[in-house]
Structure 1
């Protein structure tokens, strides 16, 4: 049984590296389109830092991500996180779709759900 120990250890150590690789394309700086009217331009930066343990840190809409998780599953990589404006929480979820991010943010205290898109920041 001891001869299998290196295999088990290598499998356990490889999992975080595989997970980080899966989320690496979502990791980084994004320009989020928050326009609510056609032809209107309103963008904010989103920074996502995906850790191998499945946590997400960074910022969105000038607010630090307080809690976040990411997962690569069912052919897509997604994040979910919470930020605040000081009056209440904003819950955001987004998935990578090709070279873009499609997301939504829900603010119960403001009574809105907003769909948004993002592209990689230049």
Structure 2
């Protein structure tokens, strides 16, 4: 009986592969930035090189990720960060779910916002 109880406890408390962890964020991502669902695929890369409890570091679209934050208080891991080009700041947010990123980018200077998705490439 003790063996069955122990096995049941192990099954209930062992994380599954589908469970989102901040370590899953590390690595290279291929981000689909197509402007409309019917547009041709348009991919850019994102690298997340370091993750700790509430922040991360890396680059996106050849720009350093700045002011990155993580929120693990919900059933998904939510994130936000800022990138920039020569003229504008871009604000990004989204979440990790089942090994895929779902995000949205916003640039007030360009009056632009667009959703995107990403798959890990390594």
Normalising by the smaller structure, the TM-score range is 0.7 to 0.9
Query: Could you report, residue by residue, the CA deviation over 1:50-98 in whole angstroms, capped at 9, with x for unpaired residues?
Result: 4324122101111111221112121111210001012121000120121
| Structure 1: gaps of 5 or more residues | 1-20
Q: How many pairs align?
A: 102
Is 1:36 aligned to residue 35 of structure 2? yes
4+ residue segments displaced more than 4 Å? none
Distance 1:63 1:46 in 2: 9
Alignment partners' CA distance in 1, 2:69 and 2:49: 10
Q: Runs of 5+ in structure 2 lacking a partner?
A: 1-19
Tell whether the 8 Å contact from 2:46 to 2:60 is kept in structure 1 after alignment.
yes
**C-alpha contact (below 8 Å) 1:23/1:71 kept by paired residues:** no
**Residue aligning to 1:114:** 114
Give TM-score, length-normalised by structure 1.
0.75
By percentage of residues, which structure has more helix? Answer: 1
Query: Normalising by the residue count of structure 2, what TM-score does the alignment of the two structures yield?
Result: 0.75
Q: Distance in 2 between matches of 1:51 and 1:32?
A: 19
Higher relative contact order (CA 8 A, sep 6+): 2
